[in-house]
Amino acid sequence: MSASQPVLLPGDSAGDRPANNAADAAAVDPARPVVAVEDLRIAFPGDTGEVVAVDGLSFALRPGAALGLVGESGSGKSATALALLGLHRGSGARVSGRIEVAGVDLTTADAEEVRRLRGRRIAMIFQDPLSALDPYYSVGDQIAEVCRVHTGVDRRAAWARAVTVLDRVGIPSAERRARSHPHEFSGGMRQRAMIAMALACEPDVLVADEPTTALDVTVQAQILDLLHELRTDAGMALLLVTHDLGVAAGNVDDVLVMHAGVAVERGPVDRVLSAPTEPYTRELVSAVPRIETTRKSVVESSGVSTVVATSAVPEVSTSDSSTAGEPLMRITDVRKHFRQRGWLIGRREPVRAVDGVSLDIRRGETLGVVGESGSGKTTLARMMVRLLDPTSGTIHFDGHDLASLPERRLRPLRRDLQMVFQDPASSLNPRRTVGESIGDPLRVHGVDEPEIRRAVAEMMERVGLDPDRRDRYPHEFSGGQRQRVGIARALVLRPRLLVCDEPVSALDVSTQSRIVRLLADLRGEFDLTLVFVAHDLALVRQVSDRVAVMRSGELVELAESDALYDNPTHPYTRDLLAAVPRLDPEEARRQRAVRRAALAEAG
């Protein structure tokens, strides 16, 4: 489908279409790239001279083509995306080279020329649609505003156009929902609204900057499917910026791998992902957790030292653990309801975050807990270590019921129950050195100072940190290192149960795999039982013996991990698995077809 035949909206009438004038349409020549970047260099002023974010980057995007810009945080991919819309203007950044979009060179064009380009010829979709949309105006209002700015149509026509595009991106009863404000939409709906805004003027190029990173896996699949559909239907070119190779795989024709501001490798997506030539790309590709990879193969291929292989902790198999006697923790019909505020009049239904979950945690196993946001997985994790008091139910651990034990009697048990938190940046006290933070649990339990120093040094060494850096503060560490500090702090008391709540979801993919390997290592060494809470199904498979799937506060399915991934019994588990991005483009296309078929069947 070529760009000169826009077939964007089936129900379009001449009236509610922006009058993209004829001259503009003619300017799109299918052979000529709609985006051409040559020798792009972006530098930000820093304390010690310039910080170069992008250096000597060149690429081109033909009409209707899709390019994936892939890299880890700090690779310069987002800076590049912003430069395509001239959004570095006025920020102090120095942009040089040539950025041609729809025939306009953004490095030399005047402000008015750039403004007219934005939203009309090139539109951008941002990562977090909640903050990217203005909270004070309705969604329809904001889309209509874009139409009016670029086409000069009247209010009524602009509003009609907003409703049309909202309908196009799959917002149900768009006429009514156009009046909703962003906060009244779910995360996926917000991103649809953002895409609708991008469609408002039928741009030639869509720039999507991590469009699905903030979304759940099933919603991510829907949004990616939508983008794919729009691209094939309307012939828009797509620049997809992402850190997730899985997201790029099924959605672009070519990829460009960036690292430290330079293009490392580029080529057709099938070739780059299946046979990367550069070492960095190979490393990146191998770090991505794959849904089809089992736990055993990861432990072996990761080359983990003898620790795991010869450790006392056996690869827990079903027969072993069922005969192993008492589980370490037995959770029975546990509930957590959060009361909604209501006073005098109007008592509201409580939020049932966890609603009747029963499960055993076996000694020495790694139990994965997966679910989408709002499934109650974090609430459940926090109840396991009694950071939250259950509303009802029992949690048996070591002969005690954690759910009802008073805090005073709970304290001696606390050292056996430790937690690693999602965001190492905010779960470490920024005003305490990492050495102090790691030693604090010991201090609480009355260990003397020389002993603490020794234990901290040992623990830092164990998690792969240099003990000489104990007197540094958290901000001097990278994300991955901070999470190592968090792990050291949790392990310093030698707990028996370690609950990790999304321990790697804030980290880059290559850092992720190193932390996961570290956890696997430590599990053997410290004789730990691990609970691994995460939304990333592929990652969970690699670390877990058994996996529990949660949805709206309930346990949907609990099974040995290979059994669960190979033969999911519950339809929700099947949906989740079908939505996971595949690294193999062929497989990604197949899954998309499966999803489409399911959708067609459903409605």
Partner 1 sequence: MLPYLTRRVVGAALVLLALSVVVFAIFYLLPGDPAQLVCGIKTCSADRLALVRQKLGLDQPVAVQYWQFLTGLVVGRDVSAGPNVFHCPAPCLGFSFQTDEPVLALIADRLPVSLSLTAGAMVLWLSIGVGGGVLSALRRGRFIDRATTVFVLGGMSIPVFISGLLLLMVFCVWLQWLPFPSYVSLASDPAGWARSLVLPWFALALVEAAKYARLTRTSMLETLSEDHIRTARAYGLRERRVIGRHALRGALTPLATMLAVDVGGVLTSASLTETLFGLPGLGQLLVQSVNTLDLPVVVGLVLLAGFAIVVGNVVADLVYAVLDRRVSLT
* Contact window for partner 1 (CB under 8 A) among 55-63, 341-349, 542-550, 576-584: 341-349
Residues 482-511 binding partner 1 (CB under 8 A) are: none
Contact pick of 62, 120, 290, 582 for partner 1 (by CB under 8 A): 120
DSSP state letter for 528: -
Q: Between 83 and 493, whose beta carbon lies closer to partner 1?
A: 83
Q: Among 143-151, 429-437, 441-449, 508-516, which window interacts with partner 1 (CB under 8 A)?
A: 143-151
C-alpha 204/C-alpha 90 separation (Å) is: 25
Q: Which residues contact 354 (CB under 8 A, 6 or more apart)?
A: 334, 335, 336, 376, 379, 380, 383, 390, 553
Give the whole-angstrom CA distance, residue 434 versus residue 489: 9
CB of 430 to partner 1, least distance (A): 21
Options 24, 38, 105, 128; binder of partner 1; rule CB under 8 A: 128
Q: Which of 17, 77, 150, 535 binds partner 1 (CB under 8 A)?
A: 150
Q: In angstroms, what is the C-alpha Rg of the chain?
A: 26
Work out how close the CB of 194 gets to partner 1 at its nearest, in angstroms, rounded to a whole number.
Answer: 8
Q: Which is nearer to partner 1, 26 or 136 (CB)?
A: 136
Phi (first) and psi of residue 267, to 5 degrees? 160, 180
**From 16, 72, 100, 145, residue interacting with partner 1 (rule: CB under 8 A):** 145
Residue with tokens 């099974």: 559
Which of residues 349 and 601 has its CB atom nearest to partner 1 in the complex?
349
- DSSP secondary structure letters along 272-314: HHHS--SHHHHHHHHHS--TT--HHHHHHHTT--HHHHH-SS-
Shortest distance, position 421 Cβ to partner 1, whole Å: 25
Structure tokens at 244: 């997730």
Least CB distance from residue 517 to partner 1, whole Å? 35
Figure out which of the listed residues 132, 260, 410, 425 binds partner 1, where binding follows CB under 8 A: 132
Applying CB under 8 A, does 232 fall inside the site for partner 1?
A: no
Asked if residue 387 binds partner 1 (CB under 8 A), the reply is no
3-state secondary structure of 592: helix
Strands 366-371, 529-534: pairing is: parallel
| 135 in contact with partner 1 (CB under 8 A) | yes
Encode 137-157: b = buried (16+ Cβ within 10 Å), e = exposed: ebbbbbbbbbbbbbbebeeeb
Closest CA to 239 of 54, 26, 116, 85: 85
Please select the residue that binds partner 1; options are 134, 451, 566, 586, rule is CB under 8 A.
134
- Per CB under 8 A, the list member of 52, 146, 166, 199 interacting with partner 1 is 146
Q: With contacts defined by CB under 8 A, name the span among 5-13, 69-77, 135-143, 550-558 that binds partner 1.
A: 135-143
Measured from the CB atom, the residue of 126 and 159 that comes closer to partner 1 is 126
Residue 114 CB, nearest distance to partner 1 (Å)? 8
From 315-323, 340-348, 359-367, 468-476, span contacting partner 1 (CB under 8 A): 340-348
Least spacing, CB of residue 508 vs partner 1, in Å: 22
Stretch of 122-130, 214-222, 245-253, 586-594 lying at the interface with partner 1 (CB under 8 A): 122-130
Largest CA distance in the chain: 80
Contact between residue 539 and residue 289 where contact means Cβ atoms under 8 Å apart: yes
Cα–chain center distance at 163: 29
User: What CA–CA distance (Å, rounded) separates 323 from 363?
Assistant: 11
Task: Single out the residue of 23, 48, 108, 183 in contact with partner 1 (rule: CB under 8 A).
Answer: 183
Smallest distance from partner 1 to CB 227, Å: 17
How many residues sit close enough to partner 1 to count as binding (CB under 8 A)?
A: 33
Residue choice 17, 62, 77, 118 for contact with partner 1 (CB under 8 A): 118
Q: Which stretch binds partner 1 (CB under 8 A): 14-22, 95-103, 124-132, 223-231?
A: 124-132
**Which of 595, 573, 504, 491 has its CA nearest to residue 542?**
504
**How is residue 486 written in tokens?**
């968090």
Task: Using CA atoms of 264, 270, 271, 273 in order, give the dihedral in degrees to the nearest 10.
Answer: 50
Q: Is residue 351 a contact point for partner 1 (CB under 8 A)?
A: no
- 314 contacts partner 1 (rule: CB under 8 A): no
Using an 8 Å Cβ cutoff, are 151 and 179 in contact?
A: no
Q: Kindly state whether residue 116 participates in binding partner 1, applying the rule CB under 8 A.
A: yes
118 vs 145: CA distance, rounded Å: 13
Asked if 181 is part of the footprint of partner 1 (rule: CB under 8 A), the reply reads yes
Hey, CA dihedral for 417, 421, 427, 433, is it positive or negative?
positive
Give the span between the Cα atoms of 147 and 541, in whole angstroms: 46
CB under 8 A: which stretch of 343-351, 408-416, 449-457, 466-474 binds partner 1?
343-351
Q: Tell me the three state secondary structure of residue 269.
A: helix
- Determine if 177 is a binding residue for partner 1 (CB under 8 A): no
Applying CB under 8 A, among 5, 73, 131, 317 the residue interacting with partner 1 is: 131
Is residue 85 involved in binding partner 1 (CB under 8 A)? yes
Task: Give me the residue label for tokens 């052979």.
Answer: 31
Which of 15/342 has CB closer to partner 1? 342
Write out the residues near partner 1 by the rule CB under 8 A.
85, 87, 115-120, 123-124, 126, 128, 131-137, 145-146, 149-150, 181, 183-184, 197, 341-346
